[in-house]
Structure 1
Amino acid sequence: MCNIYSKGFTKCGMLDKDGREAFTEISVRNKNLVDFNRAKNEIALVDSENNKVTYGLDSLLLIIGNSFPLLEKIARIQPLYWLFKKLYSFVSYNRKQIIPSRKDNTEQSCVPDFNLKYRLAYVIFVALFSAYILSIFSGKFGVSLAPNFFRELGVCLGQILWQTLFLKWYLKDKIWDYLGNMMTVSLLGTLLLIPAMLTNFDPIFYLIYFGVVVFIMFLEHLRRCRILKLNMLPTISWILFRLTALAVIILTTI
């Protein structure tokens, strides 16, 4: 994720082409300046002329401020600055669950510390957002399935509880990494549903579209389990819950 927005800044001309260094390829000079432990959680911006390092939100605001000074000034006004700082931490502490990498297990990898507060916040946010979108999308199916936010929220929370109870013995210290990745799979599926919500076709279209989205989620779940070096068990359990929840919803609405 660091690569994504640093490349974005470079392409927009907000950062010099030679002004970015990968965490694993940092020069000896910068290595002596940068606090590695802090840089794992907050991206570091090195001022080579003054030998000064800025971290996190402040580093982003400095880069943005070079091109848009007014935006930087506005962002530093309280309580906006406090809000943006919380949002930065929310994304930073969950970035490896949002965009995982196979190289995250090396000593020099830029993996943030685990923060339970922000991981729980991410799980809750995705559950609420997914439940809201699904409750609206369910009205497109044309069956006796009325939009119901709490029903969809129950399914989302049930999935989390199901996976936690049945897989904790297997996942062990990977449980929170897995849950974060699982919620990103749910978030991906939710985002894919939004474009279809803006259309007006026959119910069969939405049933097929929903099936395609679930299949994409299945493939993404498999991919992320491979990155976490997990076998098929979490994916099998994930599918079993989805089928069980679907059966319960059908039986209770017929």
Structure 2
Amino acid sequence: MIKNHKLLIDKNCPMCVVYGSTFTKLDMVDSNTITPYQLVSEEFTTTIDMHRAQNEIALHDTVTGETIYGLDSMIHIFSQGKSWISKPLHFPLIYAPLKQLYKFITYNRKVIVGGKRTPVNERTCEPDVNYFYRTLFIFFTAVFTGLVLNNYTYHITDYFGFQTPWYVEYMICFGQVVWQGVMITLWSRKNSWDYLGNMSAVSALGGILLLPILLLQQFIELHPYLYIGYFMLVVGVMLLEHIRRCRNMHLGWIPTVSWLTFRNVVLGIIILLFS
């Protein structure tokens, strides 16, 4: 168990709270280690790079005064001082991709969980908007969602006697990014990258929720109406989540109206072209 350390986490980030609590429950760190970034005392802020700690979780040794950040702090906690664990993880061919994965997650953590903004009277723990990792997040979620929808909508369109080309769902997913990107730039430019990240997270959520039905149909035959009904249920969940996230970003109803308009317009075009 790691003692005499302070692990700074964002108390307004559900993801950070969960892994901080998990470390404590698994006795990887003692009960005094997990410390909210917003509440850490001035005694430690003078020796910790507080800006870097917003982007990469900081593990501060209260005895030596040394601080390690990001992936290195995670490896330190998981290895618990055991070199047979830490050395392989620091091997360049393993460390380099893990480092990229860590950055991909940490720079997008706020849009992944869709948490509320930090209150104005608290110390801010918002990661910087990294355009490279945000673009990767938007790209990969669009590809993932398009792949799932391709496999799912086949069971619906086939029932109605028509099929769409494989690329249609990908065009829809990337088209929505462009459509909403233009809308949010006109409506609230300063929130554009945060909104697109949150919207992509909602799309990924929809894709994940469709996976159980795709898995189930591998074992039993499902009626087409089940696919339709479940799909509508998932869309409803996505709509509520989209509204929640827009409310957290104080964007009002315009993004949601635009989001729904795009989906309805596309549905109409698909029916006209392929049915």
Q: SS of 2:208's equivalent?
A: helix
The answer to whether the 8 A contact 1:131-1:149 is kept is no
Equivalent residue for 2:192?
Answer: 175
Alignment of 1:107-126 (within 5 A): 108-126=123-141
Equivalent residue for 1:13?
Answer: 27
Alignment of 1:15-164 (within 5 A): 15-66=29-80, 70-104=84-118, 106=120, 108-141=123-156, 142-146=159-163, 148-164=165-181
Unmatched 5+ residue regions in structure 2? 1-14
Aligned residues between the structures: 254
Paired with 1:45 and 1:187, the residues of 2 have a C-alpha distance of 31
- Select which of 231, 255, 259 maps to 1:238: 259
User: Which amino acid in 2 is paired with 1:215?
Assistant: G
Pair 1:191–1:68, CA change in 2 (3 A): farther
Paired with 2:161 and 2:100, the residues of 1 have a C-alpha distance of 42
- Select which of 207, 222, 231 maps to 2:243: 222
The answer to whether the 8 A contact 2:184-2:195 is kept is no
Equivalent residue for 2:3?
Answer: none
Paired with 1:145 and 1:11, the residues of 2 have a C-alpha distance of 53
Pairwise CA RMSD of aligned residues? 1.6
Pair 1:36–1:235, CA change in 2 (3 A): same
Percent identity of paired positions between Structure 1 and Structure 2 = 36
Paired with 1:12 and 1:216, the residues of 2 have a C-alpha distance of 33
Pair 1:149–1:122, CA change in 2 (3 A): farther
TM-score scaled by length of structure 2: 0.88
The farther-off stretch of 55-64 and 199-208 is 199-208
TM-score scaled by length of structure 1: 0.95
Pair 1:151–1:22, CA change in 2 (3 A): same
Q: SS of 1:175's equivalent?
A: helix
1:99 to partner: Cα distance: 1.5
Unmatched 5+ residue regions in structure 1? none
Paired with 2:153 and 2:89, the residues of 1 have a C-alpha distance of 38
